[in-house]
Amino acid sequence: MKFRDLEKSALQLNELYEKLEIKRWGRSWTTVELALGFVGDVGDLAKLIQANAGIRDIDDCKAKLGHELSDCLWSIIVLAHKCGIDLEAEFVKNTGELAEYVSGELGS
């Protein structure tokens, strides 16, 4: 699956969530609320990383870890879209710059 396909899938799911939020609360979540939800997911992810490393007990850790990583990716894609960021372009640019920097440091 290409990044644009992942993005499309994430945004379609976000549309469904927004409909549910409107049904439940009369409005959809703001970007601030989405970011706070993401922070909660990152906390859950950290605990699962610990379990995967053997320093915390969580049943079915590997499956839960995959799920939580996916939740975090979804949040990042949706937040980028709502903030007007071309995440794919930024990722390519950033990783290229970082690779160049690290390569330069290794060559020093």
**For each of the chain's 108 residues, which pLDDT tens digit applies?**
899 999 999 999 999 999 999 999 999 999 999 999 999 999 999 999 999 999 999 999 999 999 999 999 999 999 999 999 999 999 999 999 999 999 999 997
Structural domain count of the chain:
1
Its domain, for residue 73, covers 32-103
User: The pTM is what?
Assistant: 0.91
CATH number at residue 90: 1.10.287.1080
Residues 6+ apart with CB under 8 A from 28: 17, 18, 21, 22
